[in-house]
Amino acid sequence: MIKILANDGISQSGISALESKGFKIDTKHVHQDQLAQEINSKNYEVLLVRSATTVRKNLIDACPKLKIIGRGGVGMDNIDVVYAREKGKTVINTPAASSSSVAELVFAHLFGMVRFLFDSNRQMPLSGDADFKALKKSYANGTELAGKTLGIIGFGRIGKEVAKKAIGLGMNVIANDKFVKEEVITLDFFNGDKKSFKIVTKKLKDVLNKSDFVTLHVPKDGNKAVIGAEEIGLMKTGAGILNVSRGGVIDETALMFALDKQKLAYAGLDVYDNEPNPSIHICMHNAISLTPHIGAATKEAQQRIGTELADQISSYFEK
């Protein structure tokens, strides 16, 4: 019987799909330091992770019987992918399963930002009963998303899903991508109608110059931030920025400085440097909407991730 360790968990739909094919799956979490010993002693042939577990060269070398390393999600920066494949391991992920959930989180942050919900939800429990009128006045300058320009940096699956939702809200969408020149976005409506829009990507500086809001959907590129002080300087004064991709894509120090100087009005962050211990200064900043890396954390996305992983694992062993 082929044994699978889902070290960061897997949905019930994934468990059921795998068990129906005769696999044995364990969902207990093993500490990183004890992972190699657990894999070898229990003869696991498949290791599934999300973002909590890392799979580096030392673990790959220590587990010669491991055949598949799977990532429940899109980014695989917590896995030494090239090295694993050089060692004959199959590395899989689920790039399409969480796109809609991540895109919806972008707009959860956006709506919260433009109506100051991120701050209102902090202040109302503290002083809403005594300072209601003052709080009402302080949040009186909200803005609408309709008619505004959303700049999308990274126009892959998630970026395109964000574009669909933005177009549906009546926003103007512009995009930047190193590899995509143009893309046709098709909206599917509740009554079966469809409407397509062609988006031609632009240079990064043009997207930054023209956007009221910028959202990032790119992998981390070494140690250099995609958005640092220079890039923020190109943005509109009073713009907003969102990062639900990877920590380190935005220079957090430059971001806080820009917010303090009111170059930027607000930010929305789901990912951070130094996870799972983000900077207390970021966490306490009164112009940042915060979530704890929950982009794919919906029931629907987790069900799709589990099913997609199960399908890929089954296909591998059925060859």
Q: Report how many domains make up the chain.
A: 2
Q: Which two tokens stand for residue 257?
A: 């400085």
Distance CA(280)–CA(286), nearest Å, equals: 12
Q: Which domain holds residue 193?
A: 99-290
Whole-number pLDDT of residue 222:
79
Spatial CA neighbour of 243 closest among 306, 151, 178: 151
* pLDDT, the chain, mean: 96
Catalytic entry in 71, 109, 217, 293: 293
Q: What is the mean pLDDT of residues 104-129?
A: 97
Do 154 and 204 reside in the same domain of the chain? yes
Look up 38 and say whether it is catalytic. no
Are 307 and 228 within one domain? no
Catalytic (active site) residue 246 = yes
pLDDT digits (tens, 9 = 90+) for 5-47: 999 999 999 999 999 999 999 999 999 999 999 999 999 999 9
Asked if residue 224 and residue 132 are part of one domain, the reply reads yes
Q: Are residues 166 and 220 in the same domain?
A: yes
The four Cα atoms 265, 269, 275, 277 give a dihedral, to 10 degrees, of 50
217 is catalytic: no
CB-CB neighbours of 133 under 10 Å: 8
pLDDT one-digit tens code per residue, 133-183: 999 999 999 999 999 999 999 999 999 999 999 999 999 999 999 999 999
Least Cα distance to 299 among 307, 311, 309, 287 occurs for 307
pLDDT at position 160: 97
State the helix-helix crossing angle for 157-168 and 99-114, rounded to 10 degrees: 50
Does one domain contain both 104 and 229? yes
What is the number of other CB atoms lying within 10 angstroms of the CB of residue 311?
Answer: 16
Q: Domain check: are 215 and 286 in the same one? A: yes
- From the candidates 38, 104, 183, 275, which is the catalytic residue? 275
Q: Are 84 and 119 in the same domain?
A: no
Q: Report DSSP state, residue 272.
A: -
Closest CA to 290 of 260, 261, 252, 258: 252
Looking at the structure, do residues 84 and 107 belong to the same domain, yes or no? no
pLDDT reading at 92 higher than 80: yes
Strand order in the sheet with 24-26: 24-26, 3-6, 46-49, 68-71, 90-93
Q: Looking at 217, 246, 285, 304, which residue is catalytic?
A: 246
Whether 268 contacts 113, CB under 8 Å: yes
Q: How confident is the model at residue 48 (pLDDT cuts 50, 70, 90)?
A: very high
Same domain, yes or no: 215 and 153: yes
Q: How much is the pLDDT for 307?
A: 95
Does residue 230 share a domain with residue 87? Answer: no
Q: How confident is the model at residue 220 (pLDDT cuts 50, 70, 90)?
A: confident
CATH of the domain at 140: 3.40.50.720
The proportion of the chain whose per-residue pLDDT surpasses 90, expressed as a percent, equals 94
State the pLDDT at residue 77: 86
